[in-house]
Amino acid sequence: MLRLARLADYGLLIASSLEEPGKALVKLDQVADQTKLPIPTVRKIMKLLVDGGVVHSERGVKGGYCLSDAAYNISIARILRAVEGGVALTDCCAEERVCDVMHACTVHSNWSVINQTVSEIFERLTLRDMSRRLSKADVISKVRTDDDVDLVMLSELAS
């Protein structure tokens, strides 16, 4: 089964519970209540999100947390990088490239292309997109570029 790590999923959930810059700061316990996650888990992920530049924090009695930017400027990929270090569908796609059989692997280049494509999808989808119910058509429209449309039209003309 292929799936995001629990911390990555929680990172998206926590970030989506926060306000945009200039609005009210949200306390850690409020985030825990809203997301139904334990306070230690929220604290751990919040630190990763702050360190990753996704979330802004202010200390003190009037302190709290908010997004570091507008939700439409924060990509899913940015949150995943903050919490998990990025997207790597296989060991050979990770920055460390720790696969023991990569030198003899005949599918490595395909995994690289697939991993890059998934990463691009996560770059194009934003926290704002995640705040509403998405259809397959919504996701496809977000990831299609003008170049993609040109390629589809060219391939249709060629056939």
4-55 pLDDT per residue, tens: 889 999 999 999 999 777 788 999 999 999 999 999 999 999 999 999 999 9
Structural domain boundaries enclosing 22: 6-86+125-158
In a domain? residue 108: no
- Determine the 3-state secondary structure of 56 from DSSP: strand
Q: What is the mean pLDDT of residues 68-90?
A: 90
Q: Dihedral sign, CA of 107, 108, 112, 118?
A: positive
d(CA 80, CA 39): 20
Q: Does the global pTM surpass 0.85?
A: no
Residue 66 lies in a domain: yes
Tokens 């996650």 sit on residue: 37
The structure tokens listed for 93 are: 């796609």
User: 115-152: per-residue pLDDT in tens?
Assistant: 888 888 899 999 999 888 988 888 888 777 655 555 55
Sign of CA dihedral 123, 37, 44, 65: positive
Q: 65 and 31 in contact (C-beta within 8 Å)?
A: yes
Residue 101 lies in a domain: no
Q: Determine, yes or no, domain membership for 113.
A: no
- The burial of 65, by beta-carbon neighbours within 10 Å (0-12 exposed, 13-18 middle, 19 or more buried), is given as buried
The arithmetic mean of pLDDT across residues 48-71, rounded, is 94
Is residue 99 one of the residues assigned to a domain?
A: no
Query: How many residues in the chain?
Result: 159
Report the number of distinct structural domains present in the chain.
1
CATH number (domain holding residue 45): 1.10.10.10
Q: What is the pLDDT of residue 58?
A: 92
Query: What is the structure's pLDDT at 141?
Result: 81
Q: Which 8-state DSSP code applies to residue 86?
A: S
